[in-house]
C-alpha cells in the first residue's frame, strides 16, 4: 500500500491518448493486494475505530428514539394539524434519494460504457443498500401503530381487507421493496468474484468457510463468466428503469395529492434528478475520505472524483431549472393558490429553509464549473457537504411549507421539530455509517474483477504475450505428442 | 517414488487420488486466448478456461454459444406483469358478491370511491411495473446461478494451491479427463507446448467432504427451528378453541378500570351510579308558564296571547322581521304559500313536494293563536319544528304578525284608519 504524497493527476484530455483509470503502475497482483489490504490488515486504521465508535453511538440513539416513539406514540414528534408529515417523510425521501446514485453508477453508467465507474461502483452500491435500509425505517415507524405495519402487504386475511392499490403510498411499498431487493441482488452478484478473491486469500479457517460460502464456489470459469456478464447486463438494464420509477413513485406521494405546491407534473423528473444529485454528493462525501484512509488513491483517482463533480454540476443545473420552472408555472398558470404557496416558500415563515436550500443546491454546485475546485479534494468535500444539507432542506421545504399552509387559513400552523425528531435524524446517520464501516472492513470495497478489465494489461493485444489469432485451423495430431518433452 | 520395504496389510488406505483434469497456467490474457484457440481447434470438448475477470474475446476463442438466460428473464418478467395485474384486479376490483363461494380470506375488497373506476389500469401500472422488474431480476440471478451450477463447494480446482491465483492475476486452461481425446501423456505434452504456458499440472480428485462444518449446521438448524416457531404458534391459535380471553399485547386504552351502569360500586348505598342531586330538573320539565311555552291553557289551545307579552307595534315588527327570516322562504312574504323555495320545488317537479299551507286560508284564520304557536314549535305534516331555533317570545311575535297578515288580506275599508282611507279612494 504505497502512500502518495502528491496526487497523480490523470484529469488531462489529450487527443489520441486515453488517460489511465488506474494510476501508479499497478499490475493485476498489486491491485488485488491493494484492495485486499483493507481487509487483510490485522487492525483497521485508527480513524476507522473512531468513526465506528461515533456511528455505533448514533445507532444506539436511533434505537432508543424509535423505542421511545413506539412506546409513547407519535405525539413525541412535533407533527400537528395540518402538518401531518414533517421530519419523518423528509428523512425517508432524503435517504431513498441518496440510494439512487449507487444504482446510477452501477447500472446506468454501465449501459453507457463508462469505464471509470468500475472503481466506485461497489461501495456506491453498498451505499445504496444501506441508504435504502435507513429510508425504509421511516415509513414503518411513522404509521403510529408500528406493530400493524404488516397490513401494508397484500396477504389473505380474515377481515377480507386488501391494501388500496390505487394509492401512491402503496406504490411506494412495492417500489421501495423491489428497489431494495434488486439492489441487494445486483450488489451481491457483482461481489461474487471478489468474494472468491477473499476466499482464496483467507488465512484463517473461519474466513475461508465464510467467504467460501459467500463466493458460492466461484472458479472464474469463462463459461460461467459468459452467463455472469449476461446476467449483469440484464440486471443493469432492469435497474435503470427501476431507479427512475422508484423516485417517480416517491414523488407521486406528493404529486398525486391536491395540495398547492405538491400537485405538479414536474415532480417525477425533478425528484429523480434531485436524487441523483444528492446521491452523488454522498458518494463523493464517502469517496474522498475512503480513498485516503484505505490507500485507494490509485483506484479512485482524481479523474473519478472530477467526473463525479461534473455529474453533480449537471444534475444540480437540472434541479435549479426545476425550481425556476415551478415558479414560472405558478405565475403562468394564474392559479392564485399555487402562486401564493410559492411566494410563501420564498418569503413566508419557512423562508430560512428555502434560502438555505437555494444557496446549497443552486449556488454551491456552480463552483464546479472551475477545474481547480473539481480537482481539489477539500473544496469538493465542502461543496458536497453543502449539497447534502441542501437536498435535505429541499424535501423539508416541499413537504412542510405546503402542508403548514394548506387550503383553509384557519387551519394553518407552524411546525417545529422536537428533540426526538432531531435525534432520530442524527441516529439514522449512525445506522448508515455503522453498516458502511463494517462493509469497508469485511467486504471487498472495490470491484477488483471489474477494475482489472479496464487496465491496459487486460487487453489481449497488449504486450507481453499478445494474442496471436489462429490464422488456420490447427490440425491436432495426437501422435505428435507421444512422449513428454524433456522436463 | 521409493518403494516401501515391508508389505502393508490390505486394509491400508488407497493409492494416490486419480487425475481428473490437466491444468495449464498463463500470465496474460493474450497468451490464454492464443492457447484457447489452439485447444478449440484441436477438437477438445470438455475443457474450460478460468480467469480473474472476463477476458475480451474468450467466447469466440473457446466457441462458447450465447446463453438462453435472456429468454428465461423475459418469461419471468411476463409472469410478474401478469401477476401484478391479476393481483390488483382481483383484490381491488372484485368483491364478495362476485365470488360468493370463495373463502373470506380470498375475497376481493372493492373500494368504492366517488365513481372512480374499480379496474383502473393507469393506477395499476406502478405495481405491475415493479413486480415485472422484481420477477425478471430474481430470474436473472437465480437463473444464472442455476445454469452455472452454483453454489458448488467441493471442486477439485479449488483444492489446488496453484489455482488460488485465479482470482488475482493468473489465467488457467483446464482439460477434463472425461474428454474423449484425453490421454494422460499426450494431452500433457500438448499443453506443455502451448505458447507461453507457465506451468502444467495435474488436478487431483477432490476427496474432501462436501458437508458443511458441523458448527454451521447446528447454527442453521437452530435458526430454522426458531423461525418456525411463530407460524406454528399462529397455526395452533387458529386451529384450537379456548375459553381464555385473547392475548392482547398492546393494551392502548382498551381495557379501562371503570364501573358500568347498574354495577355494584364502592359508595355507601352500594351503587356505582349516583342519583341526581336534589333540585335537578329534567329537560322540558320546567314548571314555567305553560301558556307562554306551549300555547296551551289547560287542555285547550290558548286563544289569547300570554299576559306577560306586550302586543304593541315593536312586537309585531319584530314578528315581521323574524317571519322574514324563518317563514317567508316557504310560506312567502304575503303568507300565501308561494315562497321562493316552494316556487323552485314546483319548477323542478320535486318528488313529494306539497305546497306550503296558505296562512290566509279560513282554516288558519279560525285556528286559535296557541295552535299556531304549537305548529311553529313542533312542526306539522312536512314542516319541520322550529322550537330549537326560535325563542318563545319571538314565536309569539311571529304569531302576532301572522294575524296581522291575515287581517291585511281580509279587511274592509272601515278597518283602515281614516287618514289612510283618503289615499285609497
* Cis, bond preceding B151 (omega within 30 deg of 0): yes
Average pLDDT over residues B36-48: 93
User: Is B234 part of any domain?
Assistant: no
Give B297's strand partners: B300
A201 Cβ under 8 Å from any chain B Cβ: yes
Domain-located, residue B277: no
Q: Choose the closest CB to A476 out of B43, B140, B213.
A: B43
pLDDT at A428: 97
Domains in chain A, number: 1
Best A234, A449, A484 member to test B by mutation, with max B CBs in 10 Å, is A234
Which of B91, B144, B145 lies closest to A154 in CB terms? B91
Size of interface A-B (CB pairs under 8 A): 284
Last residue of a domain, one of B208, B233, B256: B208
Give, for A155, the enclosing helix (H) or strand (E): none
Query: Would you say A261 and A345 are in contact if contact means Cβ atoms under 8 Å apart?
Result: yes
Pairwise CB contact (< 8 Å): A181 & B50: no
Residues of B in contact with A485 (CB under 8 A): 189, 192-193
pLDDT at A471: 63
- Asked if residues B22 and B174 have their Cβ atoms less than 8 Å apart, the reply is yes
Q: What are phi and psi of B410, to 5 degrees?
A: -135, 35
On whether both B175 and B299 belong to a single domain, the answer is: no
Calpha distance A229→A448 (Å, rounded): 15
Q: In chain B, which residue's Cα lies nearest the Cα of A212?
A: B153
Burial (0-12, 13-18, 19+ Cβ within 10 Å), B64: middle
Residue A487 placed within a domain? no
Q: Looking at the domain assignment, is residue A27 inside a domain?
A: no
Opening angle at CA A376, ends A372 and A382, nearest 5: 110
Report the pLDDT value the prediction gives residue A2, as an integer from 0 to 100.
46
- Angle of helix A419-442 relative to helix A28-40, nearest 10 degrees, comes to 130
**Rounded-to-integer distance, Cα A395 and Cα A277, Å:** 13
Residues of A in contact with B141 (CB under 8 A): 185, 189, 231, 235
Q: Output the pLDDT for position A5.
A: 54
Domain with A434 in it: what CATH number?
1.20.1630.10
Measured CA to CA, the distance from residue A267 to residue A253 in angstroms comes to: 10
Round to whole Å and give the CA distance between B202 and B187.
11
Residues with Cβ within 8 Å of residue B195, at least 6 apart in sequence? A465, A468, B31, B34, B35
ipTM value > 0.85: yes
- Say whether residue A218 is in contact with chain B using an 8 A CB cutoff: yes
The model carries a pTM of 0.80
For residue B49, give the nearest of A145, A164, A222 by CB distance: A222
Q: Which of A402-416, B150-164, B242-256 has the highest mean pLDDT?
A: A402-416
In a domain, A374, yes or no: yes
Q: Angle A349-A350-A354 (CA atoms, 0-180°, nearest 5)?
A: 145
DSSP string of B67-115, one letter each residue: PSHHHHHHHHHHHHHHHHHHHHHHHHH--GGG-TTS-GGG-------TT
Question: Strand pairing of B19-26 and B171-176?
Answer: antiparallel
**Do B44 and B156 have their domain in common?**
yes
Q: Is residue A485 part of a domain?
A: no
Radius of gyration of chain B from Cα atoms? Answer: 51
Domain that holds residue A254: 37-146+162-462
Q: Give me the pLDDT at residue A487, please.
A: 54
Task: Give the closest residue to A451 by CA, choosing from A8, A18, A119, A36.
Answer: A119
Contact A382, A64 (CB under 8 A): no
DSSP A167: S
User: Quick check: bond before B103 cis, omega within 30?
Assistant: no
Distance CA B119, CA A377 (A): 54
pLDDT for B36 equals: 94
- CATH number of the domain residue B377 falls in: 1.10.760.10
pLDDT of residue A297: 92
Same domain, B33 and B172: yes
pLDDT in the model for residue B338: 92
The pLDDT of residue B287 is above 80: no
Contact of B166 with B29, CB cutoff 8 Å: no
List pLDDT tens digits, range A177-212: 999 999 999 999 999 999 999 999 999 988 998 999
Please report the DSSP string for B127-195 in residue order: HHHHHHHHHHHHHHHHHHHHHTT-S----TTTT-GGGGGGGTT-EEEEEETTSTT--HHHHHHHHHTST
**Mean pLDDT for all residues in chain B:** 89
A223 contact B CB<8A: yes
Enumerate the β-bridge partners of residue B380: B383
**Is B6 inside any structural domain?**
no
DSSP-based three-state secondary structure for A282:
helix
**Is the Cβ–Cβ distance between A7 and A297 less than 8 Å?**
yes
B189, B208, B227 - which closes a domain: B208
How far, in Å, CA of A167 to CA of A394, rounded? Answer: 24
Asked if B216's CB is within 8 angstroms of A235's CB, the reply is no
Is residue A276 less than 8 Å (CB to CB) from chain B? no
Q: Quick check: is B136 in a domain?
A: yes
Are A297 and A35 spatial neighbours (Cβ–Cβ below 8 Å)?
A: no
**A175 interfaces chain B, CB cutoff of 8 Å:** yes
Say if A464 is an interface residue toward chain B (CB within 8 Å).
yes
Contact (CB, 8 A) for B294 and B306: no
Q: In chain A, which residues have pLDDT < 70?
A: 1-6, 463-464, 470-473, 483-487
Q: Would you say the C-alpha torsion B233, B236, B237, B242 has a positive or negative sign? A: negative
Q: Does A220 touch chain B (CB under 8 A)?
A: yes
How many whole angstroms from its chain centre is CA A314? 17
The predicted model gives B190-213 an average pLDDT of 85
d(CA B146, CA B8): 46
Domain that holds residue B369: 290-424
- CA–centroid distance for A414 within its chain: 33
pLDDT at A470: 66
Pick from B252, B248, B255: nearest CA to A73:
B252
B99 in a structural domain = yes
Residue B283: inside a domain, yes or no?
Answer: no
Question: Which residues 6+ apart lie within 8 Å of A29 measured at CB?
Answer: B168, B169
A47: region left, alpha or beta (phi > 0 left; psi from -120 to 50 alpha)? alpha
Question: What pLDDT, in 10s, does the model give residues B96-135?
Answer: 888 888 888 888 888 888 888 888 999 999 999 999 999 9
Does residue B416 lie within any of the structural domains? yes
- pLDDT at residue B2, rounded to an integer: 46
Same structural domain for residues B294 and B189? no
Q: For residue B1, what pLDDT is reported?
A: 43
Say if the Cβ atoms of A228 and B189 lie within 8 Å.
no
The dihedrals phi and psi of A419, each to the nearest 5 degrees, come to -60, -35
Residues of B in contact with A69 (CB under 8 A): none
Rounded Cα distance between A95 and A100, Å, is: 9
Clarify whether residues B179 and B320 are in a common domain: no
Question: How many structural domains compose chain B?
Answer: 2
Q: Which residues of A touch B34 (CB under 8 A)?
A: 465, 467-470
Same domain, B157 and B296: no
| Final residue in a domain of this structure, among B155, B173, B208 | B208
Cβ–Cβ of B186/A481 closer than 8 Å? yes
Q: How far is CA A486 from CA B166, B190, B193, in A?
A: 27, 13, 11
Is B224 within a domain? no
Whether chain B has a CB inside 8 Å of the CB on A486: the answer is no
Interatomic CA distance for residues B404 and B398, integer angstroms: 10
Residue A133 in grid coordinates: 435500509
Co-location of B204 and B296 in the same domain: no
**Residue A331 contacts by C-beta under 8 Å, 6 or more apart in sequence?**
A339
Look at residues B30, B65, B29, B272 and name the one whose alpha carbon lies nearest to residue B171.
Answer: B29
Question: Rounded CA gap, B338 and A153, in Å?
Answer: 60
Q: Which residue matches cell numbers 287542555? A: B299
Amino acid at each position: 500500500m504505497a502512500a502518495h504524497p502528491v496526487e497523480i493527476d490523470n484529469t488531462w484530455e489529450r487527443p489520441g491518448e486515453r488517460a489511465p483509470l488506474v494510476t501508479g503502475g499497478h499490475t493485476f497482483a498489486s491491485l488485488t493486494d491493494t484492495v485486499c489490504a483493507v481487509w487483510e490488515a490485522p487492525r483497521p486504521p485508527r480513524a476507522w475505530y473512531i468513526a465506528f465508535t461515533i456511528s455505533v453511538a448514533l445507532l444506539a440513539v436511533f434505537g432508543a428514539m424509535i423505542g421511545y416513539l413506539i412506546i409513547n406514540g407519535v405525539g413525541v414528534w412535533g407533527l400537528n394539524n395540518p402538518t401531518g408529515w414533517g421530519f419523518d417523510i423528509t428523512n425517508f425521501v432524503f435517504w431513498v434519494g441518496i440510494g439512487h446514485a449507487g444504482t446510477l453508477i452501477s447500472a446506468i453508467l454501465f449501459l453507457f460504457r463508462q469505464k471509470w465507474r468500475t472503481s466506485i461502483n461497489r461501495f456506491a452500491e453498498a451505499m445504496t443498500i444501506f441508504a435504502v435500509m435507513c429510508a425504509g425505517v421511516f415509513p414503518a415507524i411513522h404509521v403510529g401503530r408500528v406493530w400493524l405495519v404488516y397490513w401494508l402487504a397484500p396477504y389473505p386475511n380474515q377481515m377480507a381487507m386488501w391494501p388500496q392499490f390505487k394509492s401512491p403510498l402503496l406504490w411506494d411499498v412495492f417500489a421501495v421493496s423491489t428497489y431494495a431487493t434488486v439492489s441487494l441482488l445486483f450488489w451481491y452478484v457483482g461481489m461474487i468474484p471478489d468474494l472468491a478473491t477473499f476466499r482464496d486469500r483467507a488465512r484463517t479457517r473461519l474466513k475461508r468457510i465464510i467467504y467460501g460460502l459467500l463466493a458460492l464456489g466461484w472458479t472464474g470459469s469463462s463459461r460461467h463468466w459468459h452467463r455472469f456478464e449476461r446476467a449483469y447486463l440484464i440486471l443493469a438494464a432492469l435497474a435503470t428503469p427501476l431507479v427512475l420509477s422508484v423516485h417517480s413513485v416517491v414523488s407521486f406521494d406528493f404529486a398525486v395529492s391536491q395540495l398547492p405546491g405538491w400537485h405538479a407534473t414536474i415532480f417525477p423528473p425533478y425528484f429523480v434528478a434531485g436524487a441523483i444529485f444528492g446521491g452523488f454528493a454522498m458518494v463523493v462525501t464517502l469517496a474522498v475520505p475512503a480513498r485516503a484512509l484505505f490507500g485507494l488513491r490509485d483506484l479512485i483517482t482524481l479523474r473519478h472524483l472530477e467526473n463525479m463533480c461534473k455529474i453533480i454540476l449537471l444534475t444540480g443545473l437540472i434541479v435549479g431549472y426545476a425550481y425556476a420552472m415551478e415558479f414560472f408555472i405558478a405565475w403562468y398558470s394564474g392559479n392564485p393558490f399555487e402562486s401564493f404557496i410559492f411566494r410563501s416558500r420564498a418569503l413566508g415563515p419557512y423562508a430560512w429553509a428555502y434560502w438555505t436550500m437555494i444557496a446549497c443546491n443552486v449556488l454551491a454546485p456552480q463552483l464546479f464549473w472551475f477545474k481547480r475546485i473539481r480537482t481539489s479534494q477539500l473544496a469538493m468535500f465542502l461543496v458536497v457537504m453543502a449539497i447534502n444539507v441542501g437536498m435535505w432542506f429541499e424535501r423539508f421545504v416541499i413537504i412542510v411549507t405546503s402542508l403548514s399552509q394548506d387550503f383553509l387559513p384557519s387551519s394553518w400552523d407552524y411546525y417545529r421539530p422536537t428533540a426526538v425528531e432531531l435525534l432520530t435524524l442524527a441516529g439514522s446517520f449512525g445506522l448508515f455509517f455503522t453498516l458502511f464501516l463494517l462493509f469497508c472492513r469485511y467486504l471487498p470495497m472495490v470491484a477488483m474483477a471489474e477494475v482489472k478489465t479496464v487496465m491496459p494489461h487486460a487487453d489481449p493485444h497488449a504486450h507481453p504475450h499478445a494474442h496471436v489469432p489462429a490464422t488456420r485451423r490447427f490440425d491436432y495430431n495426437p501422435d505428435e505428442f507421444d512422449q513428454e518433452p524433456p522436463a | 517414488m521409493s518403494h516401501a520395504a515391508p508389505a502393508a496389510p490390505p486394509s491400508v488406505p488407497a493409492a494416490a487420488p486419480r487425475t481428473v483434469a490437466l491444468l495449464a497456467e498463463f500470465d496474460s490474457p493474450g497468451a490464454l486466448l492464443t492457447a484457447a484457440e489452439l485447444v478449440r481447434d484441436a477438437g477438445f470438448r470438455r475443457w474450460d478456461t478460468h480467469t480473474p475477470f472476463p477476458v475480451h474475446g474468450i467466447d469466440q476463442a473457446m466457441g462458447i454459444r450465447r446463453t438462453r438466460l435472456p429468454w428465461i428473464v423475459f418469461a419471468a418478467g411476463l409472469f410478474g406483469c401478469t401477476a401484478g395485474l391479476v393481483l390488483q384486479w382481483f383484490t381491488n376490483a372484485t368483491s364478495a358478491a362476485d365470488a360468493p363461494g370463495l373463502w373470506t380470506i380470498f375475497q376481493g375488497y372493492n373500494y368504492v370511491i366517488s365513481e372512480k373506476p374499480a379496474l383502473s389500469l393507469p393506477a395499476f401500472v406502478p405495481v405491475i411495473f415493479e413486480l415485472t422488474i422484481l420477477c425478471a431480476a430474481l430470474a436473472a440471478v437465480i437463473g444464472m446461478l442455476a445454469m452455472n451450477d452454483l453454489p458448488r463447494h467441493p471442486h477439485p480446482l479449488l483444492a489446488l494451491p496453484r489455482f488460488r491465483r485465479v482470482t488475482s492475476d493468473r489465467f488457467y486452461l483446464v482439460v477434463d479427463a472425461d474428454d474423449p481425446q484425453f490421454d494422460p501423456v499426450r494431452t500433457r505434452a500438448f499443453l506443455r507446448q502451448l505458447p507461453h504456458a507457465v506451468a502444467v499440472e495435474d488436478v487431483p480428485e477432490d476427496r474432501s467432504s462436501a458437508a458443511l462444518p458441523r458448527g454451521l449446521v447446528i447454527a442453521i438448524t437452530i435458526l430454522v427451528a426458531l423461525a418456525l416457531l411463530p407460524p406454528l404458534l399462529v397455526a395452533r391459535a387458529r386451529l384450537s378453541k379456548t375459553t381464555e380471553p385473547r392475548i392482547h399485547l398492546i393494551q392502548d386504552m382498551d381495557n379501562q378500570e371503570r364501573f358500568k351502569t347498574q354495577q355494584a360500586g364502592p359508595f355507601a348505598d352500594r351503587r356505582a351510579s349516583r342519583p341526581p342531586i336534589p333540585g335537578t330538573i329534567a329537560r322540558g320539565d320546567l314548571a314555567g308558564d305553560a301558556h307562554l311555552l306551549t300555547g296551551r291553557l289547560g287542555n285547550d289551545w290558548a286563544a289569547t296571547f300570554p299576559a306577560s307579552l306586550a302586543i304593541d307595534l315593536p312586537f309585531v315588527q319584530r314578528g315581521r322581521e323574524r317571519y322574514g327570516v324563518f317563514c317567508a322562504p316557504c310560506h312567502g312574504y304575503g303568507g300565501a304559500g308561494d315562497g321562493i323555495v316552494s316556487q323552485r320545488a314546483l319548477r323542478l317537479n320535486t318528488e313529494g313536494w306539497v305546497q306550503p299551507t296558505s296562512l290566509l286560508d279560513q282554516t288558519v284564520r279560525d285556528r286559535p293563536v296557541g295552535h299556531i304557536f304549537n305548529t311553529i314549535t313542533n312542526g306539522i305534516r312536512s314542516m319541520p319544528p322550529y322550537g330549537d331555533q326560535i325563542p318563545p317570545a319571538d314565536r309569539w311575535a311571529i304569531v302576532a304578525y301572522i294575524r296581522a297578515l291575515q287581517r291585511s288580506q281580509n279587511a274592509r275599508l272601515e278597518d283602515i284608519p281614516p287618514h289612510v282611507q283618503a289615499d285609497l279612494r
